[in-house]
Amino acid sequence: MASTGRTGPRFSANLGFLWSDLPLPDAIRAAARAGFDAVELHWPYDVPSGDVASALAETGLPCLGLNTSRGGPGDFGLAALPGREAEARDATRAALTYAADIGARHVHVMAGLTSGEKARATYLDHLNWASGAAQEAGLIILIEPINPGDAPGYFLSDPDEAARIVTEVGAPNLRIMFDCYHAQLTGGDLSRRISSLLPLIGHVQFASVPDRGPPDEGEVNYAHIFALLADLGWTIPLGAEYRPPGPTGDSLGWLRRAREAGL
């Protein structure tokens, strides 16, 4: 069952990577047994939303959010692609409907592989529309800077540009998905960036750098990051979006140590 009464950051299992070998409802149950406080999804659309909602109700875990669809072959999102505005709106509508069906908190609107001023104008126009549509449903829209090594050509890679876009759109329910893994690979300086961007952040994710494995390895001191977020008053579960090197259960030593440290 979901953990309660805990101080400091809590943790969400990203089921796009964790327990990805299980059917999604069973992955939700596995996350609950492991002691996670929430789950989040990548692209759950092949699974009926009712099945997901039932597993969430059974375990008591909330679902934080999900992504809009990637689009067709070769796509990695649609929202910034000139000429595909209708497809992008359909994808966001579908994500908002699914999120509402399962009681999720947010939808990550994927920008796509593109660049240039026309793409930026297309993206801002979509985010203006998407924020309005989400507000009617009580949902938050997220945008995520993704490092160019993992997603060459992705429209949004810089957290500072994400902040400019959120500020320019000005919607109260448009926020940044701050993935520490991507941010470390595009400039680092995580403590300062988190502190300065916190008013514009809607969700935080993490994985080791450079291999995107469990957070107890690599070059980022996540004990410090978790403590910093607790000191800043962050209470939303932090998203464990890493690739387990083997069975997910064997990669959770970091979670046990975080609990033992009082996080």
For 36-71, write each residue's pLDDT tens digit: 999 999 999 999 999 999 999 999 999 999 999 999
Q: 140-143 and 11-14 as β-strands: parallel, antiparallel, unpaired?
A: unpaired
Residue 1 within any structural domain of the chain: no
CB 3 within 8 A of CB 257: no
What's 233's domain CATH number? Answer: 3.20.20.150
pLDDT of residue 181: 98
How many Cα atoms within 13 Å fall on the side-chain side of residue 102? 36
Q: Which of 85, 117, 144, 161 is catalytic?
A: 144
Q: Which residues of 44-61 are buried (b: 16+ CB within 10 A; e: fewer)?
A: bbebebeebbebbeebeb
pLDDT at 5 over 60: no
Residue 6 lies in a domain: no
- Token digits of residue 116: 């240039």
Please count the structural domains in the chain.
1
Whether residue 241 lies inside any domain: the answer is yes
Q: Is residue 3 part of a domain?
A: no
CA atoms within 13 A on the CB side of 128: 9
Section 80-88 average pLDDT: 98
In a domain, 42, yes or no: yes
Whether 221 shows a pLDDT value over 60: the answer reads yes
Containing structural domain, residue 235:
11-260
Which CA distances in Å does 134 have to 98, 106, 121, 126?
A: 12, 9, 20, 12
What is the per-residue pLDDT for 3?
Answer: 39
Give the number of residues written for the chain. 263
117 catalytic, yes or no?
no
How far apart (Å, rounded) are the C-alpha atoms in residues 53 and 101? Answer: 7
pTM: 0.94
Active site residue 58: no
Q: Which helix (H) or strand (E) holds 205?
A: strand 201-206
- Paired tokens of 33: 């047994």
88 touches 79 (CB < 8 A): yes
**Biggest alpha carbon distance in the chain?**
52
In terms of pLDDT, which residue wins out, 261 or 203? Answer: 203
